[in-house]
Amino acid sequence: MNELQMSHSGFKAYDIRGVMPTEINEELAYRVGRAYAALYHPETVAVGRDIRLSSEPLAAAAMRGLCDGGADVMDIGLCGTEMMYFSVFHYGLSGGIMITASHNPKDNNGMKLVREEGIPISADTGLKEIEKMAFAGDFPEGQQKGTVAQRDVMDDYIRHILSYVDVSRMKPLHLVVDAGNGCAGPVFRKLAEHLPFQFTELYMEPDGTFPNGVPNPMLEECRRPLIEAVKRTGADMGIAWDGDFDRCFFVDETGNFVEGYYMVGLLASYFLHLHPGETIVHDPRCFWNTEAIVAEHHGKAVESKGGHAFMKETLRRVHGIYGAEMSAHHFFRDFSYCDSGMIPWLIVAQILSETGKSLSELVREREAAFPCSGEINLPAGDVQAVLAAVEQAYGAEAQSVSHLDGVSLDFGSWRFNLRPSNTEPLIRFNMETRGDRALLENKKAEVIRFIEQANRP
């Protein structure tokens, strides 16, 4: 396949992701593997894949590329992205590649690349160089070919995940779980063998045709079955994962979806209670609640640009014990600063068990103290022009303006952040206030109306 039959459009800020076979295909996967081997000279690379129908041939192509470039491969098979991270740092490998498109439509696929210790390869840290070499096809020759060895990492991974909680302190909660036919099911079932909970299961069988819709709990329609099941069964909590389960989402016992913002605060308080004075990393979208909780526990809050690569870089630099984005990515120092969708719900289950409080009780005061809009996606033809128009209109009255990630404007009693999507022509809008929900609703409508007007031709 020549360059004209491949597309650069699949190369994003943090990974490779696009439509099969026009934006990503086996030839590209092979070339990415070859380029990875040529640029980093790895000894052994872990390769995992999600349940998508195209993932197995893409993984095989990437492994061929790595081997032809002289690298050995640890084939960890069907797994979640965090199991690839785990394999890299736990076994001391040179790096890893995960074949996944996470929560994207089923005709999509992609690749996430890391170096040693799970350090991400992003557009700023090597992905552009991999792209350039992959398309040039100018690979060094003469290496001794590497070999592929399959390895089942499940038991070691489960043992590590369980080390974050004390199962003996857990009570027999009733939990509803929903994997959306993604990859979480096999791991969940292994974890469940060690836990005292009663489970109601929804869509836990991996199925790359996604018969019940794409596994993206950020979408309201994807959360509906979980919410209905929690209400119907009277469960203590509902948990949902995206396709490669590096994110998890929560529904409280009343059936209300809990915004990721408040889960960040809850988990921050858990870690600071165990480890006073530690550092917590948060993104710029909404953070007043997180900062208040960290201050109450005498910790240190550090703001980072959003996106998993930037969050991990910041967390590693400041040696933070925990960090999170509102989008339900949770990062842990003891997980080599990588994100996990399994660790958070186990910790929350332990908090419910130890406090005797419901999830709604645990977050109710925080929701009232710092109401937020949740993330709202707004179409924008020229994203940067719209951001500039908003800043020009609102900047003069703002107490502070930040460009760490998009634009953040703080007015004292309310603030908002606008940031461009890395994959779509969208603006991601988040707003919060200090205890004033009416102000939130009024200002939210006002800013959205302004954005819609600014976006008109």
Q: 364 Cβ partners below 8 Å, 6+ apart?
A: none
Whether 327 sits among the annotated catalytic residues: the reply is no
Give kind and range of the element (H or E) at residue 250: strand 248-251
Q: Which of 186, 151, 154, 160 is nearest to 46 (CA)?
A: 151
Amino acid at 60: A
Helix axes 154-162, 81-90, angle to 10 degrees: 90
Can you say whether residue 311 is alpha, beta or left, with left for phi > 0 and alpha for psi between -120 and 50 degrees?
Answer: alpha
Cβ atoms of 75 and 178 closer than 8 Å: no
Task: Write a three-state SS string for 90-124.
Answer: HCCCCEEEEECCCCCCCCEEEEEEEEHHHCECCCC
Given the DSSP bridges, would you call strands 330-332 and 338-339 parallel, antiparallel or unpaired?
antiparallel
CA distances from 234 to 116, 174, 237, 448 (A): 44, 8, 9, 37
The residues, ordered by sequence, that sit 6+ positions from 228 with a Cβ below 8 Å of its Cβ are 255
Q: Answer for the pair 240, 232: CB distance below 8 angstroms, yes or no.
A: no
Residue 215 tokens read as 């596994």
Which residue in the list 54, 55, 87, 102 is annotated as catalytic? Answer: 102
Which helix (H) or strand (E) segment holds residue 324: the answer is: strand 322-324
Residue 434: DSSP 8-state: S
Distances (CA, A) of 64 to 20, 26, 70, 85, 339: 19, 10, 10, 20, 28
The residues assigned a catalytic role are 102
